[in-house]
Structure 1
Amino acid sequence: MKKSDISNKSQTDWERLDAMKDEDINLSDCSEVTPEMFASSVVRRGLKFNPKKVQVTLRIDSDVLEWFKARGSGYQTQMNALLRAYMEGKHINN
């Protein structure tokens, strides 16, 4: 493919997309994402690394903790990655 065959101009109608409301989006071909699916789909590679860690005491439901522990070593890192993904998702949507 020649360089001249590639266009850098987006063909997306960004103004129309920006004007859309959530209820205007057709999600009929998307399956519902359950909390279990969300928790198991965290991709660490795409998350920003923050080297500052803070030790905290956190009260969570025992079954939640057991579920993460059952996933094996690194469960605290997985919990942090899930919380970060949720935080960044909320930042974008709010």
Structure 2
Amino acid sequence: MPKLKPGTIIPTPEEDAAINAGIAADPDTHELTDEDFKRMKPMVRGRGRPAGSGTKEQITVRFDADVIEAFKAGGEGWQTRMNDALKQWLGEHANDDHYPVESPTKNRA
């Protein structure tokens, strides 16, 4: 039997029987079968940040301070807006000789 904290009150056999009778009378509960236990899956995800979409790549890049300030002035989501602006620019310049990249906005839903 596990060690109990001081002050823990264990129900008497009569109280335990009353608790079990209340559980049995509750229409929202039922005894789990072995099959129920086999189908159960834990609802716990691992620690840390949720997994990303896998489509982004983390890099280090330097921009002029005024460019960063302009995007940050828009508030939350400035990095996403900057990414969208770069995608738009690539889409507009997809046929340039210096940027032979297929437009990233073609496949967007």
User: In which range does the TM-score fall when normalised by the shorter chain?
Assistant: 0.3 to 0.5
Q: Whose RCO is larger (CA < 8 A, sep 6+)?
A: 1
TM-score, structure 2 normalization: 0.37
* Structure showing greater Rg: 2
* TM-score calculated relative to the size of structure 1: 0.43
- The answer to which structure has the higher helix fraction is 1
